[in-house]
Amino acid sequence: MSSILPRVRFAPSPTGYLHVGGARTALFNYLFARHEGGDFLLRIEDTDRERSSDAMTRQILAALDWLGLEVDEPPVHQADGVERHRAAVETLLAEGAAYRSFLDEEALAAAREQARTEGVPVRQRRIGAPDGAETRRRVESGEPYAVFFAVPDGGSTRWEDAVHGSTGVEHASLDDFVILRSDGTPVYNLAVVADDIEMGITHVIRGDDHLSNTPKQALIYRALGAELPTFCHVPMILGPDGKRLSKRHGAASVEAFREEGILPEALVNFLALLGWSPGDDREVMTMDELIEAFSLDRILKKASVFDAEKLEWLNSRHLDAMPVDRLVPLVLEHLPEPERTAAASEPERLAAVTDLVRQRTRTVDAMAEQARPFFTPLDAFGFEEAATAKHWKDTELAAERLRAVRELLAVADRFDADSLEADLRGLAERLGIGAGKLFQPLRVGLVGTDHSPGIFDVILLLGRDRAVARLDRALAELAVRRDPADV
């Protein structure tokens, strides 16, 4: 490893939300920089003014911040470097590495078709780039032109890729390519190289969908007299169907996973293992552990498959390890109104409920869903139809059992888990039924659904008064269902 500390960059385009592929690229850059003691930089590639937006730039910055990927220098905006890009083009023209082409689209298409017919690369300079005084005259007259990079006719361009090893292409397989459009705007490959040189980037870590750009960029680097960075092309992320991950596979943006209740620690952990291995059997890892273990030589060549089940499993592990006081505000954020206001007014009970429901869930969103019934005001409390259809099918029998529980809870001398369990199991025995036949209708009466933590924990966290009030409401509901005309 060189004694020069690495400088890496993540360079998103602000034309949409930060998707998981981009987030994984940012993470690999960040982990490498932190492991090596280098710098992690951000460049917003916003030269496409029609599709770029400040709102998307803010979203990208927010997503990186949420993931914990701290940038070491203020973000650079590519659009601010247009004059530098044009200066690089002038340097290439002066060195004879580029030329002006006055061909219009029709003539250019014809030249390309002829080259394809002849089986040779497209060299516009053969017909579209007059020399000397004629070129100067046409430029000074204001005639539009594009600037093309002149790919050498023979030989090849090669580079050492940190993932793929020695890689390269024959020049005979490359067309001359545009580096400055006829409207004076630089194209991607030119701008990227000029910016990376200016920023002192030593390693370019990016998805292998950029691999086809690398020979063109390597040619530009060398023509500008700059040393090539170390290229590192990481494998693509695929959906379960083996196709490139996209919205059709479900959540694909960092924002979407945040809204679904995935922790940033879990998403970072999961993305790190998509295309990289720590070299042992570890799967649950903190950011510090990832930084310590990360190296480019452990990046895999094979594409990785996005496994949503594994992400949720990792999320559950990070939920289990997180202190309750950090989870409480996350659950509160995911609670709807009026439950959010009610929960915020009882912080101690919210903490106890949060600690209980995380044992049965894999996401913060699911935690909030299970916590919600504990804080629903009585006048807004309702019953899930699927649960009542299953457990209150016989309304008379359900009412009889809930009334017995209501009477027991109202007068119970001891209100702790062991006593409640003994009392309720004893009640089921006196009624001549299995405990489940009592507990499931009771669960529906207390939380409105048949999915909840253990019934004794539910009663304790609701408290005597709330539990009795919920059962009164359940009995009133059963009376309506039993004989609507009498209510």
Residues taking part in catalysis: 247
CA 164/CA 474 separation, integer angstroms: 65
Tell me the two tokens of residue 285.
């890892």
Q: Which residue has the tokens 């209100």?
A: 415
Q: Which two tokens stand for residue 334?
A: 């995911």
Coil, helix or strand at residue 272: helix
Q: Are 124 and 111 spatial neighbours (Cβ–Cβ below 8 Å)?
A: yes
Angle at 162 between CA 157 and CA 168, to 5 degrees: 15
- Strand 165-170, strand 156-161: pairing: antiparallel
- Nearest to residue 198, comparing CAs of 39, 91, 81, 92? 81
CA distance 369 to 171: 60
Residue with tokens 């996209």: 246
Q: How far apart are CA 31 and CA 42, in angstroms?
A: 14
Q: Are 351 and 375 in contact (CB under 8 A)?
A: no
* CA 58 and chain centroid, separation: 15
Give the closest residue to 384 by CA, choosing from 439, 294, 320, 451.
451
Helices and strands, counts by H and E, the chain: 22, 12
Is 30:69 a contact under the CB 8 Å cutoff? yes
241 neighbors 7 (Cβ within 8 angstroms): no
Tokens describing residue 158:
């090669």
- Whole-angstrom distance, CA of residue 287 vs CA of residue 318: 12
DSSP 188-202: HHHHHHHHHHHHT--
